[in-house]
Chain A
Amino acid sequence: QSALTQPPSASGSPGQSVTISCTGSSSDVGGYNYVSWYQQHPGKAPKVMIYEVSKRPSGVPDRFSGSKSANTASLTVSGLQAEDEADYYCSSYAGSNKWVFGGGTKLTVL
């Protein structure tokens, strides 16, 4: 299993929107609608922000949205706020009870 590909960094000003991509293959991202996204602040455990490509768990602001096209999934954060500054990781089911993560994207709020 190869890690999913994410840009190492992304940035935006407060109030702006930013989109983070996550590219895999037909064996993971493209093959299943089981992409999830995680937010991780320094020293903290990850927190799920999106599951099943575009669903938000209870309590996650609707500023966070997810989508997928072919082998690439995307996380969009709209109306950026200072507290959104964190590392973001995508993950995908890869079949046979196996999962794979992306390398992570550091989101900076300018």
Chain B
Amino acid sequence: QVQLVQSGAEVKTPGASVIISCKASGYTFTGSSMQWVRQAPGQGLEWMGRIDPNSGGANYAQNFQGRVTMTWDTSITTAYMELSRLTSDDSAVYYCARNLRYAFDYWGQGTLVTVSS
């Protein structure tokens, strides 16, 4: 069965960077793009970007351009999302999600990132 397992919670200080991993299993990793979505406390879902493990291409939401980098390692079927220059506004739960037929059909369990001095 399809599973996306994310890395654990992180606590970061302002200005730092965070890297979140998303280990995929149960499907052909290069067959679907991986999306990243975040949700601040009590707020809605925000699309951050996507990476296509097949082509290596990545697309980012305008709000995160210059601060986010999405990569993957096909050998271990793991996607990564790095967000830099963190502020308190980046405190949120970050999700990876598989994209299929233009929808997000499987989601990771979420990774809580807390940015605090």
Contacts and interface: CB of A to CB of B under 8 A. Distances in A.
B102 A103 contact: no
B107 A46 contact: yes
A101 B46 contact: yes
Interface in B30-72: 33, 35, 37, 44-47, 50, 52, 57, 59, 61-62
Nearest to A97: B59
Contact of B59 (A3, A48, A98): A98
A101 B47 contact: yes
A45 B108 contact: yes
B102 A101 contact: no
A36 interface: yes
Contacts, number: 68
B105 A57 contact: yes
Interface in A44-63: 45-48, 51-52, 57
A86 to B, nearest CB: 13
Nearest to B102: A34
Interface string B97-112: 1000111110111100
A52 B45 CA distance: 19
Interface string B76-107: 00000000000000000001010001111101
Nearest to B59: A97
A27 to B, nearest CB: 13
Given A45-B107, A46-B107, A89 B44 contact: yes
A23 B113 CA distance: 31
Interface of A: 1, 3, 32, 34, 36, 38, 40, 45-48, 51-52, 57, 87, 89, 91, 93, 96-104
